[in-house]
Structure 1
């Protein structure tokens, strides 16, 4: 299968693939650490110039008829589908994801662009009641320039879900991908939109490190920042945006829970729990890092979860067929996962499956004997690890779920009626009843509470208009209103 040819892709500016003035960026294969391609990166000066170019291009893009913007988004959707067999290998090799996972990213890109293509022709405001002799309207207008900072784990999905709607409603976009997935999370998107007919300068990809991220936040032309990444980095982005009176949409980390209700089908629940913890090596903000199971069923659940974990094929998805668990993104993250598990075992946790590295992968791991104060239970793991804790009452279980400062996604498995009442007590941006924790659709609002983010800013027309437009009040009178002008000199007092 041919990979999309990127050659020496660098900084696309003004519709031209421009040599970057920053340091060379070696793009490494997650499974081997080998350099696939070397890219140039943007300099801070280039990022600042890109913001100015975007501001100029945005005015003409927003002035186009809505049908013209919609056509570009529809064409982009078609192109993602058409070129899927050339884009998918980049996702597999850069992010370390399986072929199945890469396929879901393509489907997400197709769906996000298709859904975004409907935004330009939806109602853009409301007619308001007024006590004066006039018409009064509210309307949605483009914010201007939007900076999108995307992560490595689902690089195409988590970039396009902001890029597509931001473009659709008339903004220009600066896209700063993670350095580890610059091709599938950045260059591919630029290439597709170039071919789809997006005018020059409206979308610009700026490869680079933290200094480029800071530049696309601080550029005065940027009005909105859409950031997906760690809570620690997101707090810094939010602080920088607030100092400049900019809006920041932050989709951050999670330590999500699978809550298995008493009497639930243990085998079905364990299968859901395994999916939630092991999909893409657990490197998902919605991955389940906590499993709460009633004490009467916890041994059966552990046995089944461990059986599934041991049955999963671990390896290099690019070179081996049938791989279900690929590599962790890099050695630093692999060491972090290893340290969390080793620390838990040293503190008394028991390993039922996994518990060690396998080359650049970490084996799917099931732990029992964990305590709420242990880092492996308390912190976001971002690895294929499933800590399991037994509870005795539903009140205790709800308290344990809500004890986390994160609040992104929770799965409640078992009797639907009981689950509904439990869901009413859970503090989380997403609650799935009788499904696992990982899910995302272009039509559904998505976002977290607490340290998982500042609310639903992705998915569906309402969230997208709220995220990427400004609300403007407009009044219209048939003639200029008559205003009384005082005559003579007004007294200074009384």
Structure 2
């Protein structure tokens, strides 16, 4: 059986094992319209149950030794390496990635896990200054339950980059992927950590619509929200987190410029501009949305950029 055999996850979400859902959503290949499977959708009630269970499981997970948590992260990195080809196929078919972008993203996932495996054994405190002749110490503790809301464009790494460090440092995670990429941005991560030996209840995969998104923000057990997505939704999440006195980490839309000055190598600049604008069809927050070119180079740059686009 492969890592992503749909017999395991088809029609299910992940919360202390794979749970049947009364509501399913087809997984569709955008390029062809082919149906790749179905995922189970969670409800707001499912989120509330998962958050309560995550809070319980988190205490035991945080109490495990740093070496044990590091071992789970290392094993996750090994599994990402072993199953890279299968994961890349899903990134191509479900997320619409070109093969090179899929390989790049899968490679980032491998590195993320191995890098985060070092976090549990890092120093997690410091000695503070004191006016008196006494010790004054500060210690970092796990936040508790972290909600991760991930986007569709780089679904694997933009979810994993929040999930992996949160787990490494002793937190539990509620992961809500974009419904369009629930497998490559959700099932992949859940299956990897399931096989890596992460205890039940520490990671929950909860695909769903906006009501599920609101629930993973508002659940009382959740202390931190990590959101990557649009500016309007991020603004709403930030406002709600503020009202609830929760920490919010927001990566939102961008308006990025490439500046071409006199003396630039126009061919190289146009190549960089085309890459920046057209990588993954421009569907990334770091895309080059503006080309600011010195007037003396405008015609030459425009022609070179058009040639790259047509190539």
TM-score, normalising length: structure 1 = 0.61
Which string of whole-angstrom CA distances, capped at 9 and with x for unpartnered residues, describes residues 20-50 of structure 1? 24x3211111112332212211111111000
The answer for unaligned runs of 5 or more in structure 2 is none
Tell whether 2:206 aligns with 1:206: yes
Which string of whole-angstrom CA distances, capped at 9 and with x for unpartnered residues, describes residues 100-130 of structure 1? 1100111110011111111111110111122
Kept in 1: contact 2:73–2:116 (CA 8 A):
yes
Kept in 1: contact 2:4–2:191 (CA 8 A):
no
RMSD: 1.2
Tell whether 2:15 aligns with 1:13: yes
> 2:90 maps to what in 1?
90
TM-score, normalising length: structure 2 = 0.97
Which string of whole-angstrom CA distances, capped at 9 and with x for unpartnered residues, describes residues 267-306 of structure 1? 0100011110011110111000100111111111111110
SS, match of residue 147 in structure 2: strand
> 2:30 maps to what in 1?
30
> 1:135 maps to what in 2?
135
Tell whether 2:277 aligns with 1:274: no
Kept in 2: contact 1:3–1:89 (CA 8 A):
no
Tell whether 2:134 aligns with 1:160: no
CA distance in 1, matches of 2:146, 2:220: 11
Which string of whole-angstrom CA distances, capped at 9 and with x for unpartnered residues, describes residues 147-178 of structure 1? 00000000001000000001111100000000
CA shift at 1:74, angstroms?
0.7
Which string of whole-angstrom CA distances, capped at 9 and with x for unpartnered residues, describes residues 305-333 of structure 1? 1011001xxxxxxxxxxxxxxxxxxxxxx
Which string of whole-angstrom CA distances, capped at 9 and with x for unpartnered residues, describes residues 402-458 of structure 1? xxxxxxxxxxxxxxxxxxxxxxxxxxxxxxxxxxxxxxxxxxxxxxxxxxxxxxxxx
SS, match of residue 223 in structure 2: strand
SS, match of residue 42 in structure 1: coil
CA distance in 2, matches of 1:3, 1:200: 18
CA distance in 2, matches of 1:102, 1:293: 31
Kept in 2: contact 1:55–1:221 (CA 8 A):
yes
CA distance in 2, matches of 1:290, 1:12: 41
Structure with larger RCO (C-alpha < 8 A, sep 6+): 2
CA distance in 2, matches of 1:4, 1:99: 18
Kept in 2: contact 1:9–1:17 (CA 8 A):
no
CA distance in 2, matches of 1:170, 1:140: 11
> 2:126 maps to what in 1?
126
SS, match of residue 38 in structure 2: strand
> 2:290 maps to what in 1?
290
Kept in 2: contact 1:179–1:207 (CA 8 A):
yes
Tell whether 2:40 aligns with 1:43: no
> 1:256 maps to what in 2?
256
How many residue pairs end up in the alignment? 308
CA distance in 2, matches of 1:286, 1:255: 8
Kept in 2: contact 1:176–1:186 (CA 8 A):
yes
CA distance in 2, matches of 1:3, 1:78: 13
> 2:52 maps to what in 1?
52
CA distance in 2, matches of 1:241, 1:219: 11
